[in-house]
Amino acid sequence: MAEVNNMLIVVNSGTDKAYNHYASYVIAFMAKQVAKINSVTIYYGPYGVAATRKGELAKLGITSEIKDLIAGQIEGLSASDLPDTLEMLARFEKENVGVNIVSCGTFHVIDGAGKTIDDKSGIEDFIIPVTLPQAADAIMKADKVINL
């Protein structure tokens, strides 16, 4: 099996498909912490950018039952270690685990979340908008692409 050094997780669904969003952060965490993959990026594509609006990921809660279920599968992790929302998990993974979180700036403009590609005023501050060439570059350079 080929070694993976650069993983890209593409989330291209709205929050109506919340499991895709939860899965992206679980996969990213496992890739960094368990598989020791050097570069892991979550990319919110055209249909996923709505989830990057301020407050949307905070609406996706992590219940105590889910925390118990997840923690029971990962050695050394307790349910109390897990945050209460997906926004909190995303911030933790970006700041403490080293997961890159980006989104399609073009679709922020189309969706009305930004006036320009670089405008972050309508999206979460920890998500970096990228241009179409930057997104294409990330896809082409990834050793492994996972689509959710």
List of E strands, 1-148: 6-11, 39-44, 100-104, 128-130, 144-147
Predicted local confidence at residue 70, as pLDDT: 86
The percentage of the chain sitting over the pLDDT mark of 90, rounded to a whole number, equals 79
How far apart, in whole angstroms, are the C-alpha atoms of residue 130 and residue 118?
8
How far apart, in whole angstroms, are the C-alpha atoms of residue 8 and residue 135?
10
Predicted local confidence at residue 34, as pLDDT: 87
Predicted local confidence at residue 81, as pLDDT: 87
Structural domains for the chain: 6-56+93-147 (3.40.1260.10)
Task: Tell me the pLDDT tens digit for each residue of 58-74.
Answer: 999 999 998 898 888 88
At 2, the pLDDT band (50, 70, 90 cuts) reads low
Task: Tell me the pLDDT tens digit for each residue of 123-137.
Answer: 999 999 999 999 999
